[in-house]
Amino acid sequence: MTDPTADKAFVAFERVQKSYDGETLVVKDLNLAIGKGEFLTMLGPSGSGKTTCLMMLAGFETATHGEIRLGGRPINNIPPHKRGIGMVFQNYALFPHMTVAENLAFPLEVRKMGKAEIEAKVKRALDMVQMGAFGGRRPAQLSGGQQQRIALARALVFDAELVLMDEPLGALDKQLREHMQFEIKHLHENLGITVVYVTHDQGEALTMSDRVAVFNDGVIQQLAPPDELYERPQNAFVAQFIGENNKLHGVVEELNGGRAVVRLDSGEVIDAAAVNVGGKGRRTLVSVRPERVEQREDMSAPGLDAEVLEFIYMGDVFRTRLRVAGSDEFVIKSRNGQGQRRLQPGEKIRIGWATEDARALDA
Amino acid sequence: MADIADTGMASAPARAETLKTADGTPLKAALAHAAKRARRRAFLLVAPLLAFVVLTFVAPIGQMLYRSVANDGFSANMPNLVRWFAENPETEPDESAYAALAADLALAAEARTIGVVGTRINYDVSGTRSLFTSAGRRAARLEAPYREALLDLDEEWGSPALWSAMRAASAAHTPNFYIAALDRQVDPEEGIVSVPEDQRIYVPLFWRTMMISAVIAGICLLLGFPVAHLLATLPMRLSNLLMILVLLPFWTSLLVRTTSWMVLLQSEGVVNDVLVSFGIVADDARIQMMYNQAGTIIAMTHILLPFMILPLYSVMRTIPPSYVRAARSLGANNWTAFWRVYVPQTVPGIGAGVLLVFILAVGYYITPALVGGSSGQLFSNMIAFHMTRSLNWSMAAALAALLLGAILLLYWLYDRLIGIDNMKFG
């Protein structure tokens, strides 16, 4: 599952480019290999090219250049209905003039299956998403979450090995969305299908995926498992896009193996892990996660001076905004644990972090 | 805390018998009062339109429909004879009947309504208008025995057909116009029977109108569906441009459009000239596309096409492309996705368009009058004939009422089959 090489990958994009107007590339030189049974999420802001990639895979858009392979077979010239890929659409796209059962039977009917076989498969698919009693209803009579389940069942009913999902949970409220995330995840695990999932919600991507491809500007910025993506972002875009992030601008003063000494614009000098820096004398952006910042009791300990600007009580955590190194946007998060002190605005404190948690990235 | 809870409990009603507002008025009365004011304001806002519609639409149409059963041309002007008919049902006319007739003729001649009376009887027994007017001139000088005196004037006064027509006309209301509009007549012995085949006009014309309208609606659907689909799927900027082309005919006078079809289609017209010049059609065998059914169908299809395209377009615009995409991803080829997923969702538009075009076509008048010749005439042309030529407005009203009835029936049928609330006009 981890790092399948391109030739034995189940789905492979090879040097794929896509342009709509002949002037700009929406997808620039995409190389991506997805293993069988993998749950891969394409994450990125709107206009980053992730949906275009999904549509090329589904067959609704043609690649301007490059090759897309499914199970080792090039599919560039195969029309969508012959690709046998299940797809869940953003607005579910359940056919409103058919009942739920007819919706599910549709892919089986066009495959000319026998009546008894269709009935059995439809029943099995409905039971799989716990919607067995709803076969006679119309989609409009179902709630958003129920429609979502039916859309899922319809994409799975014809035993597709690859299922594409285009922001399938976008229309649901937060609680239901989190619930459905787990259901989709469990279906994926139980059925052993390959899922390519598109979302702009980073929480969703981190929760569900085996690997996440972060898209921006038509390029995959980083392709990694969720924990690596969060803890070891490769560049400034990924660091900012995934999770909350404190930014400290400065210049590399010294490079020493994996370590960089950075002089911040405000004059302070800090140590950081050199992840993606040009070299000595180049500008860099040091990224620190809010929950990795610690308050130092000793005001002379290594770290930076900070002034408390705002304290926000969020229930499970405290979120404190600080003025650090000339920036008013530095945030720390602390767990609402036993004996955790609530900082007061105006307080002067000392903060610090483990050197590997401060990551020097491209500016 | 406890105090607030206590007073809260106290002021709450012991049981939910009569809920009251804070100042003690019953809740229902207060609600009715509040709603009444809003309703009165709403009514005042629509009152001008309501008055306008009643004055200019409901009243004239009602009057027109009443005219289809009203029968006062004879009954209001011949009081003595009407009384005699009422007192002697099913009796042959005797001397007293002729006396009443003579008295009425004299009365009507004096009141100058003898022409109205004659016209009314003339609807049923043709050639009798002059019988009345000439008798009216001499009615004052008639003397008993009146039967002989009248028969001396004209033998026709003894005709049983005339007398049965007068008896029928003596009622203030009559179904006769409807009976005639259905190509039937009242036979003294057998009741209501069909008129001889060669005299049937209205029923064949009615069916021909329905047929032609159905054909026009069908052609409009075939031509309009792809156009509407194109408009709905093109980028907004392009589709707006094309929409102007669809709407352009709307902004041109109906007469101009019809006459330009005459220029195109007549036997010395543009289409025939082109066909002849390419040698497709011989010069002496030019196609007759004008002054027949073909002319009516071609011109009306063109004129009514926008009424098909607009509702179709407005429905297609709302169908997200993801439905067809979903069908394709589920394994349906282009045709199956179109036929089983796309078309069923355009049904509200198809229903609205077909019904709209059909109803407009059924009542169409100017175009068939200009390009229809004799075989392309529609029902409304016959109504116009009775309005302007034969001046039998009651007949025109009866025909119009039949047409209205047929359309209402169709509408009801549509509602039963597809559902009116499923219809979208745009």
- pLDDT tens digits, A52-72: 999 999 999 999 999 999 998
Query: What is the model's pLDDT at position A298?
Result: 82
- What are the C-alpha distances in Å from B161 to residues B92, B96, B124, B170, B178? 12, 19, 9, 14, 20
3-state class (DSSP) for residue A347: coil
Chain A, 84 to 103: residues with Cβ < 8 Å from chain B are: 84-87, 89-91, 93, 95-97
Same domain, B236 and B346: yes
3-state class (DSSP) for residue A77: coil
The answer to whether B120 touches B73, Cβ cutoff 8 Å, is yes
> Which one of B151, B170, B189 terminates a domain?
B170
Same domain, B80 and B41: no
Q: At what angle do helices B236-247 and B293-317 cross, to 10 degrees?
A: 150
Residue B65: inside a domain: no
| pLDDT tens across the length of chain B (426 residues) | 444 444 444 444 445 567 777 787 888 888 888 889 889 999 999 999 999 999 998 998 888 888 888 887 788 888 888 888 888 887 788 888 888 888 888 888 888 888 888 888 888 788 888 888 888 888 888 887 888 888 888 888 888 888 888 888 888 888 888 888 888 887 767 778 888 888 888 999 999 999 999 999 999 999 999 999 999 999 889 999 999 988 888 888 888 988 898 888 888 888 889 999 998 888 888 888 888 888 899 999 999 999 999 999 999 999 998 999 999 999 999 999 999 999 999 988 998 899 999 999 998 988 899 888 888 888 999 999 998 988 888 889 999 999 989 989 988 888 887 776 766 665
Minimum distance, in Å, between the CA of residue A19 and any CA atom of chain B: 18
* Banded pLDDT at A332 (limits 50, 70, 90): very high
Same domain, B269 and B336: yes
Residue B151: inside a domain: yes
- The H-or-E segment that residue A73 falls in is strand A73-74
Query: What is the model's pLDDT at position B4?
Result: 44
Better-predicted residue by pLDDT, A142 or B18: A142
Residue B188: inside a domain: no
Residue B363: inside a domain: yes
CB atoms closer than 10 angstroms to residue B144: 11
Quickly list H helices, chain A. Answer: 50-58, 100-109, 115-128, 144-156, 174-191, 202-208, 226-231, 236-241
The answer to whether A140 touches A97, Cβ cutoff 8 Å, is no
Six-digit token string for B88:
């002697």
Alpha-carbon dihedral sign for residues B76, B80, B82, B86 = positive
Chain B residues in contact with A97 by the CB 8 A cut-off are 344-345, 347
**Looking at this protein, which amino acid is placed at residue A252?**
V
Give the pLDDT confidence of A185-237 residue by residue, as tens digits. 999 999 999 999 999 888 899 999 999 999 999 999 999 999 999 988 888 89
Q: Do B333 and A79 touch (CB under 8 A)?
A: yes
Same domain, B131 and B260: no
Same domain, B281 and B413: yes
The answer to whether A35 touches A92, Cβ cutoff 8 Å, is no
Domains of chain A: 6-235 (3.40.50.300), 244-362 (no CATH)
Residue B311: inside a domain: yes
**Looking only at Cα atoms, what is the longest distance across chain B?**
112
Q: What's chain B's length in residues?
A: 426
Between B322, B332, B345, which is nearest A81 by CB?
B332
Same domain, B50 and B87: no
Instruction: Please give the sequence-ordered ranges of beta strands (E in DSSP) within B262-361, or none if there are none.
Output: none
The answer to whether A100 touches A130, Cβ cutoff 8 Å, is no
Query: What is the model's pLDDT at position B418?
Result: 74
Q: Do A110 and B320 touch (CB under 8 A)?
A: no
CB atoms closer than 10 angstroms to residue B39: 11
Between A58, A95, A96, which is nearest B329 by CB?
A58
Chain B residues in contact with A155 by the CB 8 A cut-off are 329-330
* Structure ipTM: 0.81
3-state class (DSSP) for residue B352: helix
Same domain, B99 and B237: no
Better-predicted residue by pLDDT, A349 or A298: A349
Query: What is the model's pLDDT at position B424?
Result: 62
CB atoms closer than 10 angstroms to residue B365: 14
B323 touches chain A (CB under 8 A): yes
**DSSP secondary structure string for all residues of A215-283:** EETTEEEEEE-HHHHHHS-SSHHHHHHSS--EEEEEEEEEEETTEEEEEETTS-EEEEEESS---TT-E
The tally of domains found in chain B comes to 3
* Banded pLDDT at A19 (limits 50, 70, 90): very high
State how far the Cα of B125 lies from the Cα of B189, in Å rounded to an integer: 17
A151, closest residue in chain B (CA to CA): B326
Minimum distance, in Å, between the CA of residue B269 and any CA atom of chain A: 47
Give the pLDDT confidence of A289-306 residue by residue, as tens digits. 999 998 888 888 888 889
Same domain, B116 and B89: yes
Same domain, B231 and B165: no
Query: What is the model's pLDDT at position B2?
Result: 42
B327 touches chain A (CB under 8 A): yes
* Banded pLDDT at A15 (limits 50, 70, 90): very high
Residue B11: inside a domain: no
User: Chain-centre distance of CA B24, in angstroms?
Assistant: 56
Q: Do A110 and B333 touch (CB under 8 A)?
A: yes
Same domain, B245 and B353: yes
Same domain, B155 and B288: no
Q: Do A106 and B330 touch (CB under 8 A)?
A: yes
CB atoms closer than 10 angstroms to residue B420: 13
B255 touches chain A (CB under 8 A): no
Same domain, B232 and B207: yes
Q: Domain range holding B148? A: 74-170
Residue B158: inside a domain: yes
